[in-house]
Amino acid sequence: MINYIFRRIGYMMVTLAIIAVLGYLIVELPPGSYLEFEIARLRQQGGNVSQDQIKALEIRYGLNDPTYVRFFKWITGFVRGDFGESFQYRQEVKDLIGQRLAFTISISVFSLLLAWGIAVPVGVYSATHRNTIPDYIITVIQFLGLSIPSFLVALVLMVVAQRVFGQQVGGLFSDEFQNAPWSFARFIDLLKHLWIPIVVIAFGSTAGLSRIMRANLLDVLGMQYVQTARSKGLKENKVIWKHAVKNAMHPLIMILGGSLPGIISGETVVAIVMNIPTVGPMYFNAQLNQDLYLAATFLMFLSILGVLGNLLADIALAWVDPRIRFE
Amino acid sequence: MNQSSESTTKSVFEGEDTIIKVRDLHTYFYTDLGISRALNGVNLEIPRGKVMGVVGESGCGKSVTALSIMRMVAKPGKIVQGDITFFRKDKKKNDAIEEINLTKLEGMGPEMRSIRGAQMSMIFQEPMTSLNPSYTIGDQIMEAIILHQNVDKVEAERRAVEILDGVGMANPSLIVKRYPHELSGGMRQRAMISLALSCTPAVLFADEPTTALDVTTEAQILDLMRDLQKRIDMSIVFITHNLGVVAQMCDYVTVMYLGRVVEQATIDDTFYNPMHPYTSSLLRSIPHVGSHQKDRLKPIRGVVPDPYSKVKGCPFHPRCDKAMRGLCDVKVPGLTVVGKSHTVRCFLHSDVEEESTYVQ
Ligand SMILES: Nc1ncnc2c1ncn2[C@@H]1O[C@H](COP(=O)(O)OP(=O)(O)OP(=O)(O)O)[C@@H](O)[C@H]1O
Ligand code: SF4
Ligand SMILES: [Mg+2]
């Protein structure tokens, strides 16, 4: 098992290295970056000051160096925690993204927990009550969940929150807490704002996950070892949860490993609609404006998250399925 | 549940004591295609401490009979009629016999669960899929032991190792730590047998336990089962298609056709004095030692009717060479005792008929 985990971490490092190279190249490739634009502007101004500034920029970003040297400078800086400067915001990338990453990670984790917390029991229930009226009702709700786009759910929930609960929606804090120092009241205020994006992001995946859970569990319930478990005299609950559900989890865990990109893009839509300062919208803009270091840093962090997610999924998979452990 | 009198446990098999008696058992499956009448009035007796073979073509209800007695028929299946009586012998109470009507118990309820796995257990055809891939062999055997025997983990593991040793598994203390995929088919079937026997049941249902194994392994497993049956003094209900295996293993034979029992007899009577035309044709359809090359095997004419439709009269009459016009296609023969330890359901041997004229 330890070997297995180390091997996976090894693969993970290789994957990240490849992503770093490709990502950097892709972000840098198109001509007309912010930096070139800036230098052109300074040239026009002329004069010594501008010349000095251009020099400083050239040295800092190694504009006269070949691409691989620049990449090397960037990646060694990245590892040390120096992510470079955003051209757009004229700020250190480090200072720009910290809070946004934290919001994105917490929204993703909470919506994953919510989606799984609902999808697994619902899937188990509808599989064990196949072709009963509750199963039919669940099926209808699942299809609605799969077919309604998330921005629509976001809009509906915003209206409901505002009209019915009198909540101020959009953003992360109400006006009075916007710049207030952290306090319990501010935290509650944050939760009031966060539940909508969490529910919206969980909504779509819950439907899909519970469908998959149902289908898998139905397959597993037909397996001989489920009959074996019954033939021991175990309680039906134990037969289902200990002997069947554990074996029906594989596909769900594999999906979990790859679900981060989907969550980030879903999160982007919701964040734009609801005006929430998460990673999604800023990453989207950084790409649009070729804000090299900002975009590359986001790309690296999202990849690290994605690869970490996969690692956790691999470990979970090895835990439920001993056959993988011994590969 | 009451103390039974001598007469109720007296068997149709002479000199035997009945452990399970099934009367007029009907088990139906309510599927999208309609009602599949898998069991249609099964009557049979299982003798205590003996091996009884159950034979019959595919789909005649052998597995469903075992599952019904174990009360493990799951939706969309249901026992709709009939009685299953279990005569439970209590070793602690001077071998007193307690009569339990299993059809009155709830299939997944506590009483039935305390019987299942402890008093009766089952092994299945596919050793590859009958053990859970996610748990070690030891965990799976220990689960049954802990459930029924009120012992701690350490003791349960000790017993699991002991049982594995008893079924001839090499290195039992290593095997308990192994997962099913690390074992060969024959080893898995031994592990499955250990699991089934872990609480020394009174009845073991073996549903084609060797069909998936190669000939050598099959012979070893059959030897082992015979040996264990004597050691534990349990009844084995041996479901199989292989009449050769029946000849080798069984004391008695039950022949089923289309969800009913058509003949029950001793092993000798089954092979040398079969009374039901279906039993005779089953015997003609297998090769046997000493038969001449030119005696061609005779497959049974026709096919089994599907269990969704109704047949008037004797269910075997469309395929029977000896069918009597005006009788077999109108009336249903009843199961009657026709000799020492021999019951049959055929108008050639008795004129007992059933009230209804349709079987299905
Ligand atoms: N889960 C089920 N759903 C619907 N019908 C079923 C189900 N299980 C069994 N049956 C029906 O019950 C009948 C008897 O099946 P059973 O499995 O007992 O046959 P069998 O004698 O064991 O055959 P085989 O030798 O092929 O194992 C079959 O006609 C089958 O269609
Ligand atoms: S009752 Fe008639 S049809 Fe049925 S088996 Fe006997 S002879 Fe054949
Ligand atoms: Mg069967």
Instruction: Give the ipTM.
Output: 0.87
Q: Does residue B38 line the site of ligand 1, with CB under 6 A?
A: yes
- pLDDT band for A234, please (50, 70, 90 cuts): very high
pLDDT at site B6: 41
- Chain A, chain B: beta-carbon pairs less than 8 Å apart: 73
* Atom 3 in ligand 2: residue holding the nearest Cα: B317
Q: Going by CA atoms, what residue is nearest to atom 24 of ligand 1?
A: B58
Report d(CA A5, CA A313) in Å as an integer.
11
Q: How far is CA A137 from CA A21, A125, A128, A242, B348, in A?
A: 49, 12, 14, 27, 56
CA distance B53 to B241: 10
For domain B2-119+201-287+298-354, give its CATH number from 3.80.10.10, 3.40.50.1820, 3.40.50.300, 3.40.140.80. 3.40.50.300
Beta carbon of B328 within 6 Å of any ligand 2 atom: yes
Question: HSE of A37 in the Cβ direction (CA atoms, 13 Å)?
Answer: 10
Q: Which of residues 65-84 of A touch B (CB under 8 A)?
A: none
Of residues A224, A231, A321, nearest to B129 (C-beta): A224
Selection from B84, B102, B80, B65 nearest residue B30 by Cα: B80
Q: What is the mean pLDDT of residues A136-141?
A: 91
pLDDT in the model for residue A202: 86
Q: Is the pLDDT of residue A30 over 70?
A: no
Q: For residues B254 and B53, is the Cβ–Cβ distance under 8 A?
A: yes
Mean pLDDT across A136-163: 85
**Predicted local confidence at residue B97, as pLDDT:** 84
Closest Cβ opposite residue A229 in set B114, B132, B148: B132
Where are the domains positioned within chain B? 2-119+201-287+298-354
Task: Sort strands B34-47 and B18-31 into parallel, antiparallel or unpaired.
Answer: antiparallel
Quote the pLDDT of residue A306: 84
CB contact under 8 A, B129 and A223: yes
Q: Quick one: angle between helices A34-45 and A47-61, nearest 10? A: 160
Measured from the Cα of B61, ligand 1's closest atom is: 18
Dihedral of the alpha carbons of A133, A208, A152, A195, in degrees to the nearest 10? 90
On average, the pLDDT of chain A sits at 83
pLDDT attached to residue A166: 76
Q: What share of chain B is helix, strand, coil (3-state, %, to 5)?
A: 30, 25, 40
CA distance B83 to chain A (A): 20
Of the candidates B271, B252, B255, B310, the one whose C-alpha atom is nearest the C-alpha of residue B40 is: B310
Lowest-confidence pick of A249-253, A266-270, A311-315, B39-43 = A266-270
DSSP secondary structure string for all residues of B266-327: EHHHHHHS--SHHHHHHHHTS--TT--TTS---PPSS-PPPTTS--BSSTTGGG-TTPPTTT
CB atoms within 10 A of CB A71: 18
pLDDT of residue A119: 93
pLDDT tens per residue, range A73-114: 888 888 888 888 787 787 888 888 888 888 888 888 888 899
List domains and CATH numbers for chain A: 2-78 (no CATH), 97-320 (1.10.3720.10)
Query: Does ligand 2 lie within 6 Å of residue B314's CB atom?
Result: yes
**Confidence at residue B296, expressed as pLDDT on a 0 to 100 scale:** 55
Across A16-25, A242-251, A285-294, B57-66, least confident range: A285-294
Atom of ligand 1 nearest to the CA of B64: 18
Ligand nearest to the CA of B255: 1
pLDDT: which is higher, B164 or A263:
B164
CA B45 vs. chain centroid, Å, equals 11
Three-state DSSP at B1 gives coil
Query: Does the pLDDT of residue A178 top 60, yes or no?
Result: yes
- Residue percentage of chain A with pLDDT more than 70: 95
Inter-chain CB proximity A224 and B130 less than 8 Å = yes
Per-residue pLDDT of chain B (360 residues; tens, 9 = 90+): 444 444 445 577 878 889 999 999 999 999 888 888 899 889 999 999 999 999 998 889 999 999 999 999 988 899 999 999 999 988 777 778 888 999 999 989 999 999 999 999 999 988 889 999 999 999 999 999 999 998 999 999 999 999 999 888 999 999 999 999 999 988 998 899 999 989 899 999 999 988 888 888 888 889 989 998 988 889 999 999 888 899 999 999 999 999 999 999 999 999 999 999 999 988 887 765 555 555 555 666 666 666 666 778 888 888 888 888 888 888 889 888 888 889 999 999 877 777 665 554
H helix count then E strand count, chain A: 16, 2
pLDDT at A47 over 90: no
Contact between A244 and A217 under an 8 Å Cβ cutoff? The reply is yes
In this structure, the dihedral spanned by the alpha carbons of residues B78, B81, B85 and B86, taken in order and rounded to 10 degrees, is 0
Q: Do A224 and B148 touch (CB under 8 A)?
A: no
Q: Do A232 and B115 count as a contact with CB atoms less than 8 A apart?
A: no
Ligand of minimum distance to the alpha carbon of B316: 2
Using a CB–CB cutoff of 8 Å, tell me whether A216 touches chain B: no
Q: Which residues of B touch A234 (CB under 8 A)?
A: 113, 117, 143, 147
Interface residues from chain B to A (CB-CB < 8 Å): 70, 72, 108, 112-118, 121-122, 124, 126, 129-134, 136, 140, 143-144, 147-148, 179, 181-182, 192, 195-196
CB A250 within 8 A of CB A313: no
What's the rounded Cα separation, in Å, for the pair B130 and B95? 34
Q: Which residue has the higher pLDDT, A49 or B175?
A: B175
Predicted confidence at residue B355, as pLDDT, reads 66
Give the position of tokens 């021991």.
A232
Nearest-Cα distance to chain A for B51, in Å, is 20
Does residue A243 carry a pLDDT above 70?
yes
Q: Residue A103: what pLDDT? A: 82
